[in-house]
């Protein structure tokens, strides 16, 4: 079985936080699809200027948690701020959480977890400016490269991508092993 991961992003995603985890997932043999409210392609933000574009595989309106094993949410300041105002995106985040499927959010992306109202009593981390929002939503905020609480995986910034990717890959591989054992 090959795990299928959905990445939700829009223009202004932090380039490294989409590209590197996506490549790590592909290298681990997983299928990755990018969903967006935009059609065609979306453009990343690369530190101080616009970066590369990536093709959108599916619209968020056509995406379903039932079709994927995990959700990855890249950060950047622009991307999650736009996405947290999109009811369809927030509904998808809630659906992944309700199904107990892994949700990996890095940097500013935990804003989406706050908007989806799924961080109360959960241990999470994020970019420093998002931490007050997380605390106000009832989360226990830590300053660690990767915080894992149940199905939630959160990280602080691009430096944490290796640990962030590893945690998601291991969670998916563990789920594949459990499915195989139960079969």
Instruction: Please give the Cα distance from 20 to 84 (Å, whole number).
Output: 23
Supply 84's token pair.
């947290």
* Contacting residues for 28 by C-beta, under 8 A, at least 6 apart: 169, 172, 173
Whether residue 36 contacts residue 8, with contact meaning beta carbons closer than 8 Å, is answered with: yes
3-state secondary structure of 122: coil
Catalytic residue, candidates 22, 108, 122, 131: 108
Strands 4-8 and 152-155: unpaired
Is residue 108 annotated as part of the catalytic site, yes or no?
yes
Instruction: Please give the Cα distance from 183 to 125 (Å, whole number).
Output: 35
Supply 126's token pair.
């994020």
* 70 φ, ψ (degrees, to nearest 5): -160, 165
* Contacting residues for 177 by C-beta, under 8 A, at least 6 apart: none
Q: Give residue for tokens 């590209």.
A: 19
Active-site residues, by number, are: 108
């Amino acid at each position: 079985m090959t795990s299928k991961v959905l990445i939700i992003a829009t223009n202004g995603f932090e380039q490294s936080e989409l590209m590197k985890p996506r490549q790590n997932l592909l290298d681990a043999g997983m299928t990755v699809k990018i969903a967006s409210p935009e059609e065609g392609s979306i453009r990343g933000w690369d530190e101080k200027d616009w970066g590369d574009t990536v093709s959108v595989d599916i619209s968020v309106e056509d995406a379903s948690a039932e079709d994927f094993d995990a959700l990855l949410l890249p950060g950047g300041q622009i991307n999650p701020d736009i996405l947290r105002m999109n009811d369809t995106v927030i509904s998808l985040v809630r659906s992944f959480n309700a199904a107990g499927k892994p949700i990996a959010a890095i940097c500013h992306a935990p804003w989406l977890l706050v908007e989806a109202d799924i961080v109360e009593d959960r241990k999470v981390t994020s970019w420093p400016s998002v931490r007050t929002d997380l605390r106000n939503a009832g989360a226990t905020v830590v300053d660690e490269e990767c915080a894992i609480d149940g199905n939630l995986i959160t990280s602080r910034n691009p430096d944490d991508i290796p640990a962030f990717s590893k945690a998601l890959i291991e969670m998916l591989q563990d789920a594949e092993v459990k499915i195989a054992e139960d079969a």
